């Protein structure tokens, strides 16, 4: 599995965004700095020309001695012309030829192979022409120096910012590492909820769902342990009976005893097989969080077909099984679910009713459409279940019968689980018609 680092992605993304913004700002700052430097130097030329006008009353040859001095003096040149033809004076380094053909304002000129930025102005009497110039190369050096002095903090600031961001991201992700360590230290046998008090807000939904998962896993483990213990306890009795009858048959000295032991052995094997079938059904249902495959089935047809398979058992016991159908209820009752599981539900309910109904009794099955769904009602004339014990009757391996009826206390548990998977509800009550137990399973509409 090629796992990626969220911390590295976040850091790279932030640095990329900051670098892009930083570079854009730096380029804009560099350009603006160069522009402002050029404006500053042009203003300096204009001021120098104004200063020269102030000295025009002195001897022209002495003007250079009266000009102010600064670090860029040697790079600034000037010329003073009387009219446009007579050069009165010029600075050291200025050419003899006129700096610019323009007589007013700023201009760029090339004299004797050297580029100049020139400012030209006439005195108020229009007698003297002053031209002050910067060498283009010198101006470029000055503006470059100003711009680079502005950019240096930005250039050195980016790595420092990247380092600070890296440290910040590492510190910010430390709670995730601690959570990972706490989750990794969990015992598979005993999962503990994750403490949410110190968790970052952004991952709280994940941790809450993880805690819910831990809770479901813990509950499933407890159910599995309880199921295993109960199943082992329930299987111990039929297996011991089978072993006893097998030993009796093996040691029998006459055919009658051997035949009786073998008959008991067959009966015990049948009961053990039935118990195993119910245990496997329940284990399979517990493993399902929902119905993986649903299909539309006719609950009425399924009910009649399943009841028909149990009629021989009812006849052998002398119990009458009746499927009550009103004319208005004889149409198909479509239900979206798992037909096989619905057959198990119906078979368990009808089989329980037959088992607990005394000889000569009655079992009545009715399927009605009600407001909001469909009700499957199965009533019998047996002893019923007292109201105080009905909740206990739905628990696994709980047999409330004291008259020795066969059973393992799993039938109603299987019914309840199948009903839960179908979104249905199971209710135990007393039959007003037959006086025994009445089990109503209500399936929601749709």
230: pLDDT strictly greater than 70? no
Q: Where are the domains of the chain?
A: 6-166, 201-286, 295-444
Residues 249, 265: Cα–Cα separation, whole Å: 9
CATH numeric code, 201-286: 1.10.287.130
CA separation, residue 23 to residues 27, 70, 143 (Å):
6, 34, 19
What is the average pLDDT value for the chain, to the nearest integer? 75
194: pLDDT strictly greater than 80? no
pLDDT score at 36:
66
Q: How many CB atoms lie within 10 A of CB 288?
A: 14
Q: Which of 263-267, 270-274, 307-311, 430-434 has the lowest mean pLDDT?
A: 270-274
62: pLDDT strictly greater than 60? no
The pLDDT tens digits for 91-133 are 777 788 888 888 888 888 888 788 888 888 888 888 888 888 8
At the top level of CATH, the class of 295-444 is: alpha beta
From the candidate CATH numbers 2.60.40, 1.10.10, 3.30.450, 3.20.20, the one assigned to the domain spanning 6-166: 3.30.450
Provide the pLDDT confidence category of residue 70 given band limits of 50, 70 and 90.
Answer: very low
The enclosing H or E element of 131 equals strand 128-135
148: pLDDT strictly greater than 70? yes
- Provide the CA 84 distance to its chain's centre, in angstroms: 83
The enclosing H or E element of 297 equals strand 295-298
Provide the pLDDT confidence category of residue 395 given band limits of 50, 70 and 90.
Answer: low
The pLDDT tens digits for 20-56 are 877 787 777 777 777 766 666 666 666 566 666 656 6
426: pLDDT strictly greater than 80? yes
To the question of pTM greater than 0.75 for the whole model, the response is no
The pLDDT tens digits for 321-352 are 998 876 555 566 788 888 877 888 888 889 88
Beta strands in 9-94 (DSSP E): 76-82, 86-90
């Amino acid at each position: 599995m090629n796992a990626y680092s969220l911390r590295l992605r976040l850091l790279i993304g932030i640095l990329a965004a900051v670098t892009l913004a930083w570079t854009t700002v730096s380029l804009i700052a560099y350009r603006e700095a160069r522009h402002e430097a050029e404006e500053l130097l042009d203003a300096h030329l204009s001021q120098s020309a104004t200063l020269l006008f102030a000295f025009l009353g002195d001897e022209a040859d002495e003007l250079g001695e009266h000009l102010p001095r600064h670090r860029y003096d040697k790079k600034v040149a000037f010329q003073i012309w009387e009219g446009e033809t007579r050069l009165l004076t010029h600075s050291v380094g200025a050419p003899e030829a006129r700096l610019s053909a323009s007589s007013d304002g700023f201009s760029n000129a090339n004299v004797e192979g050297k580029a100049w930025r020139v400012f030209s102005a006439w005195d108020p009497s229009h007698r003297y022409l002053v031209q002050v110039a910067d060498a283009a190369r010198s101006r470029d050096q000055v503006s470059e120096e100003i711009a680079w002095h502005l950019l240096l903090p930005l250039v050195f600031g980016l790595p420092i910012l990247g380092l600070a961001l890296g440290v910040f991201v590492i510190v910010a992700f430390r709670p995730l590492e601690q959570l990972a360590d706490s989750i990794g230290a969990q015992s598979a046998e005993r999962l503990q909820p994750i403490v949410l008090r110190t968790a970052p807000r952004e991952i709280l939904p994940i941790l809450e769902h993880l805690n819910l998962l831990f809770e479901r896993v813990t509950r499933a483990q407890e159910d599995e342990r309880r199921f295993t213990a109960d199943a082992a306890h329930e299987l111990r009795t039929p297996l011991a009976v089978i072993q006893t009858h097998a030993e009796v048959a093996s040691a029998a000295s006459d055919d009658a005893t051997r035949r009786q032991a073998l008959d008991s052995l067959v009966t015990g094997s049948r009961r053990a097989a039935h118990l195993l079938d119910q245990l496997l059904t329940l284990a399979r249902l517990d493993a399902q969080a929902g119905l993986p495959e649903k299909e539309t089935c006719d609950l009425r047809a399924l009910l009649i077909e399943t009841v028909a398979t149990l009629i021989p058992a009812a006849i052998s016991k002398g119990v009458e099984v009746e499927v009550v159908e009103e004319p208005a209820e004889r149409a198909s009752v479509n239900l979206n679910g798992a037909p096989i599981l619905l057959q198990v539900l119906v078979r368990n309910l009808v089989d329980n009713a037959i088992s607990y109904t005394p000889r000569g009794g009655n079992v009545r099955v009715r399927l009605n459409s009600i407001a909001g769904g469909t009700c499957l009602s199965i009533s019998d004339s047996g002893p019923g279940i007292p109201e105080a014990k009905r909740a206990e009757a739905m628990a696994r391996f709980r047999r409330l019968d004291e008259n020795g009826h066969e059973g393992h206390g799993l039938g109603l548990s299987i019914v309840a689980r199948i009903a839960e998977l179908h979104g249905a509800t199971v209710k135990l009550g007393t039959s007003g018609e037959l006086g025994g137990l009445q089990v109503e399973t209500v399936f929601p509409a749709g």
